[in-house]
Amino acid sequence: MKEVIWNELEEQFTSMQEIRRYLHMHPEVSYKEHETVEYICNFYDEFDIPYERNIGGNGIVARIEGGLLGKTVALRADFDALPIQEETGVAYQSTVPNVSHACGHDGHTATLLVLAKTLFQHREQLVGNYVMIHQHAEEVTPGGAKAMVEAGCLEGVDAVFGTHLWSQFDAGIIQTRPGAMMAGADSFTLTLHGVGGHGAMPHTTVDTVTLGAQIVTALQQVASRRINPTSPVVLTVGSFHAGDAFNIIAGSAELKGTVRTFDVEVREQVIVEMERIIKGLCEAADATFTFDYTRGHPPVINDALMAQHVLETAQHVPNVKAAQIMDANMVGEDFSYYLNARPGAFFFTGAKPLDGPAYAHHHPKFNFEEYAMVAAAQTLAAVAIDFNTNA
Q: Could you list the active site residues?
A: 80, 138
- DSSP-derived letter for residue 203 is G
Compute CA distances 70 → 47, 183, 338, whole Å.
Answer: 24, 33, 21
Burial 117-154 (b: 16+ CB within 10 A, else e): bbbbebeeebbbbbbbbbbbbbbbbebbbbbbbebebb
Q: How far apart are CA 238 and CA 311, in angstroms?
A: 36
Asked whether the bond before 202 is cis by omega within 30 degrees of 0, the reply is no
Q: Give the SS3 label for residue 296.
A: strand
What is the distance between the alpha carbons of residues 320 and 131, in angstroms, rounded to a whole number? 24
C-beta separation of 191 from 241 below 8 A: no
Q: 259 has which bridge partners?
A: 186, 235
CB-facing half-sphere around the CA of 269: CA atoms within 13 A? 16
CA distances from residue 77 to 115, 123, 138, 212, 317 in whole angstroms, order as listed: 11, 20, 10, 40, 20
Q: Coil, helix or strand for 194?
A: coil
Q: What are phi and psi of 87, to 5 degrees?
A: -130, 25
Torsion angle, alpha carbons of 315, 316, 319, 321, to 10: 30
- 95, 96, 102, 107 alpha-carbon torsion, rounded to 10°: -60
Identify which of 332, 333, 192, 182 has the alpha carbon closest to the alpha carbon of residue 256: 192
Beta carbons of 74 and 133 less than 8 angstroms apart: yes
Structural contact between residues 291 and 215, judged by C-beta atoms closer than 8 angstroms: no
